[in-house]
Structure 1
């Protein structure tokens, strides 16, 4: 009995801590046949906020691969992400994340003021395409024009 309790207590604690974390349900809609880097640039006042649909964040990526949004920052926590190609009729085709999505990163501007404050907005990046296509496409890095 004591052994069972010793095993159950840590398991319950782990499950309880997982359930208190914020979960993000993210759907990325990418133009059909797009291959290249996608960048989502947060905290851009003149652009729309990220769409919400039944608790999901909907990121509709334009043909350029760069989505600017007024949403202040990415929400951190456990993410459940889905990636789809979409066409002109909004027909969607789910992408195999292991085969077609690579290098998913989230970062802030690298410039630091004398007070130590980061000056650039958060940028989320990922590559859409095969590993072979990724090898032939350089990472665009943080957009320097965003630095204030």
Structure 2
């Protein structure tokens, strides 16, 4: 009887996950060659193109943009992608990251050069909810510490970028 109770308790606490298909985050990020800094992907943005697929992966093209508020700093340039595609599912992360040169050649980025910062959303007066996902990329600080914590100046950059776009979609 105790064994049956233990099995039922474990099944209940795990949310019966043995009966559910595990969700994954399957993205390919295409980042301009040599880029270092924060990247924000904005989902559900009206009038923006949908993201394309490569097999099971969703391709996220990143563009370098400049933020006037950071003009005289080393974090003036940031990465962004805008899409009308709804927010992707979350779960086990199987994302891939590539630098892309001007000829389209992809070079894999080591996972210790990538920091997943987080996700969130905002809506302005238009009441359109914009969902975003943030990450940081480095070529010069690749290590376990960067992978887990990122770099503070890139966190500051992310805050400025979000503030700018929150006001833009207000």
Range of TM-score over shorter length = 0.7 to 0.9
CA apart distance, 1:147 = 4.9
2:137 to 107, 110, 128: 128
Q: Say whether 1:93 aligns with 2:107.
A: yes
User: Which structure is higher in helix share?
Assistant: 2
Q: Does 1:140 align with 2:158?
A: yes
Shift of 1:128: 0.9
The runs of 4+ residues in structure 1 deviating greater than 6 Å are none
Q: Equivalent residue of 1:121, what SS?
A: strand
How far is the alpha carbon of 1:119 from its aligned partner?
A: 5.4
What does residue range 61-140 of structure 1 map to in structure 2 within 5 Å? 61-64=62-65, 65-98=79-112, 100-109=113-122, 120-129=129-138, 130=141, 131=146, 134-137=151-154, 138-140=156-158
* CA deviation vs aligned residue, 1:94-131 (integer Å, no higher than 9, x gap): 11111x112421111177x9xxxx85411111111124
3-state DSSP of counterpart to 2:130: coil
| Kept in 1: contact 2:123–2:130 (CA 8 A) | no
Partner SS for 2:63: coil
Q: For 1:102 and 1:146, how far apart are their aligned partners in 2? A: 26
Aligned residues: 140
For the aligned residue pairs, the C-alpha RMSD in angstroms reads 3.2
In structure 2, do the counterparts of structure 1 residues 26 and 92 end up closer, same or farther at CA, with 3 Å as the change threshold? same
What TM-score results when the alignment is normalised by the length of structure 2?
A: 0.65
Separation in 1 of the partners of 2:90 and 2:133? 12
Q: Secondary structure at the match of 1:145?
A: helix
